[in-house]
Amino acid sequence: MSNESSHPETGCLDRSSGWQDAPSNFPSLTRRDFLRFGSLGITGCSLLPILKPHNVQANTDVQPRGGAEVCIFLFLAGGPSQLDTFDVKEGNWTPQDFDIQTIRQGLRMPVGLMPELSRRTDKFAIVRSLQAWEAEHNRGMYYMQAGRILSPARLREIPSFGSVVAYESLQHRKESDFLPPFVSIDMPTEFLIGNGMLSPESAPMPMFSDAPPPFVLPDSQRASFERRAGLLKQLKPKEYSRGQLFGNLEQYHQSAYPLLNDPQSSKIFQLDPSEKSRYGNSGVGDACAIARNIIEAGAGTKFIFINHPGWDLHAGCYAGSVNDKSKGQYKVCAQLDAALSSLLDDLESKTDHNGRRLIDKTLIAAMGEFGRTPGDPTVNKGRDHYRYAGVGLFAGAGVKSKVLGATDEIGGKVVDTGWHRRRSIYPEDVLVTMYSAMGIDWTKKITQTPTGRPFEYIESISPKGRMEFAEISPLFV
């Protein structure tokens, strides 16, 4: 593979030419395929459950926080530079137009890069004591979705965090819910972790902000669709009623039909030009606007995974300027700034049918798979992969405005963990926090699985050995 180098501090392999080692066994789905198999089988077709999981055990001593009805995970793919974003550090490398200002005691922001978020620091918390276990894209992306080390032996069995949330929500779905419980936006399907051994209804529905709205029927085609759906129902073979393979295919179809049939779908997935502009005229902007629409619809979606690519800045990270946001740190920060600030504003101003603010029922987490090398940029005027320090942003569902943790003067070492544990915060702690906010007991485990090895929602086995992971409780107090 081209452009490979090993960083002397991290020992990680930099793969700036792309993520080419991920499993490629996730099929694509055309609109014709969708009508045959259903929306929720997109990442699940090659992962049909071998054995239906059951016998779920839990620790009754755990008290999940609850309060959040929906979780948005905004994945900053490639790994954001902590010292150029929410843990900003000044050095001889810092462009003057970053315009770093003190917002309040203990919080400095690059106002030139993110002016809108800098004005909204009362709406979110920043965690500056994150550490990652992986420093390679494919493994890091897997870890952030599955919350554990990638095991080739269990690749088809392990579900993603989003699928577990979806699985937990199925018993609470209403007859009027027409959206799938797990929606993924802009995540390439070859990197999206699906439902594994869990039921097909738990699989993600992937969609892309730069593609035509998915599964939206024009009114002119609705009568034709109804006729074809009726014909398909009549032609179904008897095998659909028996056997796991056909049973799962039937579940996919039944899950797809409400989305295709409900006229509200077009309002959710189609954005007018003014909305696109306010959210920044970018892929992540459109994705955040669609996520807002999904939450406002209140039609059954519980987890929204948004992929924001472009953060893997091995070279030219300071190319561009505040007047030229077409490249480098200026580009990705401008996109995030417009998208996330507009999302926070809208969720704060809108309410559901019970009068509850959408922001109060939505947990937002934004972070990447790892951080970037600290101090001076590399010879390529960029920053390489770095797992020993990272940064995350959290908002909604009772999260308070605060800063947790601190790193040294160059953003390379955690010097204050910012919480009750005497260690940095790891991806598992982030997932525990999201589980807890969603009212899910993270100590649950499924004891009957295809491989016979119990599936723990959060494994206590880490790359450092056995660890007890916990909710980041200071976010909420």
Task: Name beta bridge partners: 110.
Answer: 100
pLDDT at 38: 40
- The confidence score (pLDDT) of residue 23 equals 37
Residue numbers of the domain that contains 38: 4-476
Q: What type of residue is 424?
A: S
Q: According to the model, what pLDDT value does residue 238 have?
A: 58
Question: What is the CA 3 to chain-centroid distance, rounded?
Answer: 28
Band of the pLDDT at 228, cuts 50, 70, 90?
confident
Residue 213 reports pLDDT greater than 90: no
What is residue 439's predicted lDDT score, i.e. its pLDDT?
Answer: 97
Sign of torsion, CA 253 258 262 268?
A: negative
Indicate the SS3 state at residue 34: helix
Angle between helices 137-146 and 161-169 (to 10 degrees): 20
Judged against a pLDDT cut of 50, whether residue 411 lies above it is answered with: yes
Q: Tens digit of pLDDT for each residue in 63-108?
A: 999 999 999 999 999 999 999 999 999 999 999 999 999 999 999 9
Sequence-ordered strand ranges (E) for 268-418? 303-308, 362-367, 371-372, 385-386, 390-395, 403-404, 406-407, 414-416
Tokens of 203: 């699989």
Please give the pLDDT value at position 52: 52
Tokens 């399907």 correspond to 189
Give dist(CA 356, CA 398) in Å, integer.
Answer: 13
* CA 322/CA 96 separation, integer angstroms: 10
Beta bridge partners of 358: none
Whole-angstrom distance, CA of residue 390 vs CA of residue 412: 9
Instruction: Note the pLDDT of residue 264.
Output: 77
Mean pLDDT, the chain, integer: 86
Higher pLDDT residue, 333 or 38?
A: 333
Give the domain CATH number at 328: 3.40.720
Calculate the CA dihedral of residues 31, 23, 205, 28 and round it to 10 degrees. Answer: 0
pLDDT above 90 (res 6): no
Range list of H helices, 236-352:
244-261, 265-269, 273-278, 283-297, 328-349
- Are 361 and 70 a contacting pair, CB within 8 Å? yes
Which residues are 382's β-sheet partners? none
Q: What is the pLDDT of residue 220?
A: 72
Distances (CA, A) of 456 to 3, 144, 158, 183, 472: 38, 16, 10, 23, 19
Mean pLDDT on 346-370: 97
Q: How many domains does the chain have?
A: 1
Whether 143 has a pLDDT exceeding 80, the answer reads yes
> Is pLDDT of 27 > 60?
no
Does residue 65 contact residue 437 with C-beta atoms inside 8 Å? Answer: yes
pLDDT confidence of residue 227 = 78
**pLDDT of 7 over the 70 cut:** no
**Spatial distance between the Cα atoms of 403 and 57, rounded to a whole number of angstroms:** 36
Q: How do beta strands 182-185 and 303-308 pair?
A: parallel
What pLDDT is recorded for position 10?
36
- Residue 22 is predicted with a pLDDT of 37
What confidence category does residue 57 fall into, taking pLDDT thresholds of 50, 70 and 90? confident
Residue 435 pLDDT exceeds 50: yes
Of the pLDDT bands very low, low, confident and very high (cuts 50, 70, 90), residue 284 is: very high
Q: What are the angstrom distances between the C-alpha of 326 and each of 112, 221, 389?
A: 15, 40, 27
pLDDT at 105: 93
Write the pLDDT tens digit of every residue in 153-162.
Answer: 999 999 999 9
Measured CA to CA, the distance from residue 196 to residue 194 in angstroms comes to: 6
Instruction: For the chain, give the percent of residues with pLDDT over 90.
Output: 72
Q: Are 396 and 347 in contact (CB under 8 A)?
A: yes
Q: Is the backbone of residue 320 left (phi > 0), alpha (psi -120 to 50) or beta?
A: left
pLDDT > 70 fraction of the chain, expressed in percent and rounded: 80
Q: How far apart, in Å, are the Cα atoms of 298 and each of 47, 304, 335, 343?
A: 29, 13, 26, 16
What's this model's pTM, rounded to 2 decimal places?
A: 0.85
Write down the pLDDT at residue 353.
Answer: 92
The tens digit of pLDDT for each residue in 31-43 reads 443 343 343 333 4
pLDDT on residue 257: 65
Per the DSSP assignment, residues forming a β-bridge with 303 are 71, 182
Model confidence at 223, in pLDDT bands (50, 70, 90)?
confident
pLDDT of the residue at 254: 62
Residue 25 reports pLDDT greater than 50: no
Would you state the pLDDT for residue 253?
59
